[in-house]
Structure formats: structure tokens, C-alpha cells
Amino acid sequence: MKIIIINGPNLNLLGKREPEIYGGKTFETYLHELRAKFKTLELDYFQSNVEGELINKIQEVGFSYDGIVLNAAAYTHTSLGIGDAVKAVSTPVVEVHISNTHNRESFRHTSYIAGGAKGVILGFGLKSYELAILSFL
């Protein structure tokens, strides 16, 4: 089974960025743990701070992979283009967020991804990614 985690802008700074919200662990460390936990999965990872690169990656994997775990970060709340890409592909997409975006600023309450997603998991810290992977199994 092939699953990819796609992370959007500023998630490359996990571990350093607002640790009171996002925790103190880097995504690379967490990815190691995830790969050890899901040994039988082919678990790919892509991160970009650039909207078009995220769309390109969704299109590239979106007709052959079994699942996409997508944290579009701030683009969640702004990007029609990423929302349309999620709707365009046949691979199911699970939207994830580390924080509970609904108990934060009101501009984080809107998602352009959720309408095209299979489901949404948010607010469980990095564990949100693990829960999203489990949803595909």
C-alpha cells in the first residue's frame, strides 16, 4: 500500500515553530517513528512552501497512490487551487491538522480542502497523521 504525507507551508519548521502550538519535535523525527510503526506501508513524504508545487504533487500521485494525508497548513484556509486538486484526483485525501483549528482564530475555521476530502482529523498533535494513516487501513 502506497501512502504519501504532503505538508504545506512552514511545516518544515516543526520543532522550532511556535512549539506551544505545534510541539517540539521535527517532522523528520516523527516520520522515522511513523515508518517504524507502519513497516509494511510504503510511506512517502513531500513538503513545500509553494502552492503550485503542492498542486503538482497532488496531481502526480493522485491517480496511483492508495491515500494522501494532506496538511495544507495556511493554504487550507485560502487555496481554491489546492481544494480543486483534491477534488480532481481519484486517490482519497484525508485532511489533517496538528492543532484544533476550530479553537483558534476564525480565519482558520474555513477549509477549502474539507469538501473534497474523505475525512478530516485535527487537534491531536502529530498523532493526527497517524490517525489519518490508520483510516486508510
Residues that bind ligand DQA (CB under 6 A): 10, 71, 73-74, 76, 97-99, 101, 108
User: What is the closest distance, in whole angstroms, from the C-beta atom of residue 39 to ligand DQA in the complex?
Assistant: 26
DSSP string, 67-99: EEEEE-GGGGGT-HHHHHHHHH-SS-EEEEESS
Relative to beta strand 119-122, strand 2-7 is unpaired
In terms of CB distance, is 98 or 132 closer to ligand DQA?
98
User: What is the closest distance, in whole angstroms, from the C-beta atom of residue 102 to ligand DQA in the complex?
Assistant: 10
Per the DSSP assignment, residues forming a β-bridge with 42 are 2
In terms of CB distance, is 63 or 96 closer to ligand DQA?
96
* Residues 98, 25: Cα–Cα separation, whole Å: 12
22 is catalytic: yes
65 is catalytic: no
Helix (H) or strand (E) holding 21: helix 19-22
| Virtual torsion, Cα 44, 50, 51, 57, nearest 10 deg | -30
Active site residues per annotation: 22, 97
